[in-house]
Amino acid sequence: MRYCGRDFSAEELDLIRRLIREDPSRTRNEISRRVCRALNWLKPDGGLKDMSCRVALLRMQAGGLIQLPPPRRKKPENRIPITPATEPKEPILLPVHALPPLRLRQVGQVAQARLWNEYIQRYHYLGHQPLPGAQLRYFVFAEEHLLALLGFGAAAWQTAPRDRFIGWSHEQRQRNLHLIVNNARFLVLPWVQSQNLASKILATAVRQLPDDWQRRYAYRPVLLETFVEQSRFIGTSYKAANWIPVGQTQGRGKLGPAGKLSVPIKDLWLYPLVRDFKQLLTCC
- pLDDT tens per residue across span 103-117: 999 998 899 999 999
Rounded Cα distance between 159 and 165, Å, is 10
Q: What is the pLDDT of residue 3?
A: 85
- The DSSP H or E segment spanning 201 is helix 197-217
- pLDDT tier for residue 274 given thresholds of 50, 70 and 90: very high
Rounded Cα distance between 249 and 228, Å, is 10
Q: What is the pLDDT of residue 191?
A: 97
- pLDDT tens per residue across span 56-74: 999 999 989 999 999 887 6
Domain boundaries, the chain: 2-62, 84-281
Percent of the chain with pLDDT over 90: 76
CB atoms within 10 A of CB 67: 11
Percent of the chain with pLDDT over 70: 94
- The DSSP H or E segment spanning 6 is strand 6-7
Taking every pair of Cα atoms in the chain, the longest distance, rounded to a whole number of angstroms, is: 65
More confident residue, 158 or 209: 209
CA distances from 280 to 1, 41, 247 (A): 27, 22, 22
- pLDDT tier for residue 22 given thresholds of 50, 70 and 90: very high
Q: What is the pLDDT of residue 215?
A: 95
Q: What is the pLDDT of residue 255?
A: 44
Mean pLDDT of the chain: 91
Q: What is the pLDDT of residue 5?
A: 75
Q: What is the pLDDT of residue 252?
A: 61
Supply the DSSP symbol for 185: E
- pLDDT tier for residue 131 given thresholds of 50, 70 and 90: confident
| Segment 3-27 mean pLDDT | 92
- pLDDT tens per residue across span 161-180: 999 999 999 999 989 999 99
pTM across the whole model: 0.80
- CA-wise closest residue to 248 among 269, 236, 266, 227: 266
Residue 270 · residue 166 · CB < 8 Å = no
Alpha-carbon dihedral angle through residues 74, 125, 134, 255, given to the nearest 10 degrees: 70
| Segment 180-190 mean pLDDT | 97
CA distances from 120 to 16, 22, 61, 127, 236 (A): 38, 43, 32, 6, 21
- pLDDT tens per residue across span 204-215: 999 999 999 999
- pLDDT tier for residue 256 given thresholds of 50, 70 and 90: very low
Domain 84-281 fold? Aminopeptidase (3.40.630)
